[in-house]
C-alpha cells in the first residue's frame, strides 16, 4: 500500500522538471529567431512572448541577457556538432565534410543578428570560447579523419587549420553576395583537399 502512495508523488514531482526543460527549449528557439531578426538589442520580453511563456519564466532560466546569449551560443555549437556525428554514418566522407562546412557558412549568413548577440556572450568569456573551439574542432576532426581514412582527402590538414580558413571566408559577411562567394570557396577548398588533386596536376603537366 505504501508503495502505491509513493509512485503518484514521484510522477507529479517529475512533471515540473519536464515542463521546465520544455520551456527552456522553447525559449532558446524563440531567442534564436528574435536575435536573428533584431540583433543583440532585441528585448527579452519579445523572446518570452514568442516562446509563449511569462517574462518571469524567462528570468528563472536565464537571469541575465548574457546568460541567454550564452545558452543560445552553446545550443548552436551543439547542433553543429550533432550534425557532424549524424553524417558520420549517413553520408559519404567527402560529402559530409563539404556539407558541414557549408552549414557553417549558411549559419553565419542567416543569423547575422544572432551572430552579433553571440559575440556579446563570447566576448571576454575564455571558457565559452574554449568550449566552442574544442567541440567544433573535435567534430571537424572526425569528419577529416573519416575522409582521410577513405582515401578521399590528404591526411596532412588539421581541423584547426580548416576552421581558420572557414573563419576567414566569413569575415566580411555584411557585403552583398558574400555568401555565394564563401560557398564557392568552400567547394574550392574541399576539392583542393582531395588526395588525388596533386597527382592530377602532375599528370596534366
Domains by residue range for the chain, with CATH? 1-63 (1.10.10), 65-205 (1.10.357.10)
Residue 141 is predicted with a pLDDT of 96
Helices (H) and strands (E) in the chain, counts: 10, 0
Read off the DSSP letter of residue 20: H
User: Sorting pLDDT into bands at 50, 70 and 90, what band is 1?
Assistant: very low
Cell 567547394 belongs to 187
Paired with 153 in beta bridges are 194
Angle, helices 126-149 vs 159-169, to 10°: value is: 110
Among 169, 141, 166, smallest CA distance to 155 is for: 141
Percent of the chain with pLDDT over 90: 45
Cβ pair 53, 26 in contact under 8 A: yes
Mean pLDDT of the chain: 82
Does this model's pTM top 0.85? My answer is no
- Chain centroid to Cα 102, Å, comes to 12
- CA-CA distance, 87 to 100, in Å (whole number)? 9
- SS3 category, 71: helix
Residue 154 is predicted with a pLDDT of 92
Q: Look up residue 143 and give its three cell numbers.
A: 569528419
- Condensed to tens digits (0 to 9), the pLDDT of residues 166-205 reads 888 877 767 777 888 889 999 999 999 997 644 444 344 4
Amino acid at each position: 500500500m505504501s508503495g502505491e502512495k509513493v509512485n503518484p508523488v514521484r510522477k507529479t514531482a517529475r512533471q515540473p522538471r519536464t515542463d521546465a526543460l520544455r520551456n527552456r527549449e522553447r525559449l532558446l528557439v524563440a531567442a534564436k529567431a528574435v536575435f536573428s531578426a533584431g540583433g543583440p538589442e532585441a528585448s527579452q520580453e519579445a523572446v518570452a512572448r514568442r516562446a509563449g511563456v511569462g517574462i518571469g519564466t524567462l528570468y528563472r532560466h536565464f537571469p541575465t541577457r548574457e546568460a541567454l546569449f550564452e545558452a543560445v551560443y552553446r545550443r548552436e555549437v551543439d547542433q553543429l556538432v550533432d550534425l557532424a556525428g549524424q553524417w558520420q554514418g549517413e553520408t559519404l566522407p567527402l560529402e559530409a565534410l563539404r556539407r558541414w562546412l557549408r552549414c557553417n557558412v549558411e549559419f553565419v549568413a542567416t543569423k547575422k543578428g544572432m551572430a552579433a548577440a553571440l559575440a556579446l556572450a563570447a566576448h571576454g568569456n575564455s571558457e565559452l570560447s574554449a568550449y566552442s573551439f574544442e567541440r567544433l574542432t573535435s567534430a571537424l576532426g572526425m569528419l577529416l579523419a573519416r575522409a582521410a581514412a577513405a582515401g578521399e582527402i590528404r591526411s596532412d590538414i588539421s581541423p584547426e587549420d580548416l576552421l581558420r580558413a572557414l573563419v576567414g571566408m566569413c569575415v566580411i559577411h555584411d557585403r552583398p553576395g558574400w555568401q555565394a562567394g564563401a560557398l564557392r570557396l568552400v567547394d574550392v577548398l574541399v576539392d583542393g583537399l582531395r588526395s588525388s588533386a596533386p597527382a592530377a596536376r602532375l599528370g596534366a603537366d
